[in-house]
């Protein structure tokens, strides 16, 4: 089954404790991205990657890092999380015959205390 | 900067009522347009998309949207809503040449049985 998976689905952590949210897709898509969803603000893009070893900032990159060492994986790293990063995070991928249509993962709800 | 506006933040309808959700964007060039739906507790799913051709686009579950280029609009419609349409709806826009998706702030629809 074609899908985008994220882990963990739920995470509660404390300020300053580094964390990583994993994202993996099995569709051989070149393009992957991370969004955060906040009430009234819709989805805002954090980072995106056009292909392996190619990443770039989206609209709200501050406080986040990403890496793209393999085509299928695109982890989101919070080196020192802060409470304003409490949000719902979605990973998405695009490519192949469905170019420009983004397939979303199930979301990761992060709470930073 | 490109922006997407969804003017209705919350909509409450009774079953069988007709629905129209507004979406306006600010980008002046050629665009691809999308409507996504997010059911409670779930990830985003594509409802419909417009790339070119007939400006009236039909999607899944009886939804349709009309692209009016002169008004920079892509409104979502459904003639008769059901309780199961209760969800949050997001309009999204991206330029032809890129993969960046800009989302509107979302519209929460509640359909009363």
Nearest CB among B99, B100, B103 relative to A42 is that of: B103
Pairing of strands A10-13, A108-112: parallel
pLDDT at B2: 67
Reported as a single tens digit per residue, the pLDDT across A58-72 is: 889 999 999 999 999
Q: Is A22 on the interface with B (CB under 8 A)?
A: no
- Torsions phi, psi for B70 (to 5 deg): -65, -25
Q: How many C-beta atoms surround the C-beta of residue A68 within 10 A?
A: 20
- What is the DSSP-derived secondary structure letter of residue A88? E
Q: What is the mean pLDDT of chain B?
A: 90
The proportion of chain B whose per-residue pLDDT surpasses 70, expressed as a percent, equals 94
Q: Residue B54: is its pLDDT beyond 90?
A: yes
Nearest CB among B34, B90, B100 relative to A42 is that of: B90
The proportion of chain A whose per-residue pLDDT surpasses 70, expressed as a percent, equals 96
Reported as a single tens digit per residue, the pLDDT across B30-49 is: 888 999 999 988 888 999 99
- pLDDT-based confidence at A84, cuts 50/70/90? very high
Q: Which two tokens stand for residue B4?
A: 């997407």
What distance in Å separates the CA atoms of residue A37 and residue A55, rounded to the nearest whole number? 20
What distance in Å separates the CA atoms of residue A78 and residue A86, rounded to the nearest whole number? 11
- B43/chain A closest Cα distance in angstroms: 5
Residue count (chain A): 113
Mean pLDDT for the stretch of residues B69-86 = 96
The gap from C-alpha A57 to its chain's centroid, in whole angstroms, comes to 12
């Amino acid at each position: 089954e074609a899908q985008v998976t994220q882990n963990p689905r739920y995470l509660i952590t404390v300020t300053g404790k580094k964390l990583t949210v994993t994202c993996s897709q099995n569709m051989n898509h070149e393009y992957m991205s991370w969004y955060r969803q906040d009430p009234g603000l819709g989805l805002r893009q954090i980072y995106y990657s056009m292909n392996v070893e190619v990443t770039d900032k989206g609209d709200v990159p501050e406080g986040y890092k990403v890496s793209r060492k393999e085509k299928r994986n695109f982890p989101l790293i919070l080196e020192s999380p802060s409470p304003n990063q409490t949000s719902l995070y979605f990973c998405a991928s695009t490519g192949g015959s469905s170019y420009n249509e983004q397939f979303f993962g199930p979301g990761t709800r992060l709470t930073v205390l | 900067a490109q922006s997407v506006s969804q003017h209705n933040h919350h909509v409450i309808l009774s079953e069988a009522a007709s629905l129209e959700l507004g979406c306006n964007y600010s980008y002046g060039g050629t665009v691809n347009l999308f409507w996504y739906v997010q059911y409670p507790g779930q990830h985003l799913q594509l409802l419909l998309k417009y790339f070119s051709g007939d400006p009236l686009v039909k999607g899944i579950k009886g939804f349709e949207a009309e692209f009016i280029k002169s008004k920079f609009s892509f409104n979502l419609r459904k003639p008769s809503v059901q309780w199961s349409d209760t969800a949050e709806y997001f309009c999204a826009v991206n330029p032809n040449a890129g993969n960046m998706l800009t989302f509107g702030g979302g519209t929460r629809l509640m359909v009363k049985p």
